[in-house]
A and B are shown apart, each in its own frame.
Chain A
Amino acid sequence: GNSVTQMEGPVTLSEEAFLTINCTYTATGYPSLFWYVQYPGEGLQLLLKATKADDKGSNKGFEATYRKETTSFHLEKGSVQVSDSAVYFCALSDPSNDYKLSFGAGTTVTVRA
């Protein structure tokens, strides 16, 4: 079956530090990969996505590259801000599973000024 494993948190950083959150996956088909962000008390927002191998998704300074050879989709940002404090979820959708999303456990990131 499909599964997503992401780095456990919580992660605490200082402003302008480099952020990386590891994410690996297993899938039976050819999945699309996503990073979602959840701010306190809110639902999920799509941060970025990649639909095929070697694609790079990017948004708001965040980047992630779909690596089929390592089945990974690590999230990175070169210089975080306090406003980046949130929970980040790695997810995949597999056409062989009706494109249902499978989520990782989530990583809580806190950025301190």
Chain B
Amino acid sequence: GAVVSQHPSRVICKSGTSVKIECRSLDFQATTMFWYRQFPKQSLMLMATSNEGSKATYEQGVEKDKFLINHASLTLSTLTVTSAHPEDSSFYICSARNRVDSPLHFGNGTRLTVT
């Protein structure tokens, strides 16, 4: 079945540094990828939608300059948390789909800890 690989699974960084998270579709072309943030014991909050070759669409309240999303190819999207602060510590999850009505496939998530 379709697989989405997310890397790294865990990352610890110092406050003020930037962190890049990769999301790859391994056996299908992901025309659309979604990035979510999940706080402890809470649901997933959609941060942004990225379509291959175009700018990401951010949900209300999400800072686009802080959470940079690049979807340069049909198999790779990246989320860069710029100038990270402790409040950015969270679990970030990506998902990907081929067509607009295709099932969504999720990565295993990235646990970001900012010290």
List residues of chain A with CB under 8 Å of any chain B CB.
36, 41-46, 49, 89, 93, 95, 98-101, 103-106, 108
B68 contacts chain A at the CB level, 8 A cutoff:
no
Taking the nearest CB of chain A, how far is it from the CB of B65, in angstroms?
23
Q: Are A89 and B44 in contact (CB under 8 A)?
A: yes
A105: nearest residue on chain B (CB-CB)? B43
Taking the nearest CB of chain A, how far is it from the CB of B49, in angstroms?
7
The interface size bin for chain B is 20 to 34
List residues of chain B with CB under 8 Å of any chain A CB.
4, 6, 34, 41-44, 46, 49, 93, 95, 97, 100-101, 103-104, 106-109, 111
Q: Compute how far the CA of A89 lies from the CA of B6 in the bound complex, rounded to whole angstroms.
A: 20
Q: Are B111 and A41 in contact (CB under 8 A)?
A: yes
What are 28 residue pairs bridging A and B, where the CB atoms are less than 8 Å apart in the complex? Answer: A41-B108, A41-B109, A42-B108, A43-B106, A43-B107, A43-B108, A43-B109, A44-B44, A44-B93, A44-B95, A44-B106, A46-B104, A49-B103, A89-B43, A89-B44, A93-B104, A95-B101, A98-B49, A99-B97, A99-B101, A100-B46, A101-B46, A101-B104, A103-B44, A104-B43, A105-B42, A106-B42, A108-B41
Q: A46-B104, A98-B49, A104-B43 are in contact. List 14 more A-B contacts (CB 8 A).
A: A41-B108, A43-B4, A43-B95, A44-B44, A44-B95, A44-B106, A89-B43, A95-B101, A98-B100, A100-B34, A100-B49, A103-B44, A106-B43, A108-B41
Residue numbers in A under 8 Å from B111 (CB-CB): 41
Taking the nearest CB of chain A, how far is it from the CB of B50, in angstroms?
12
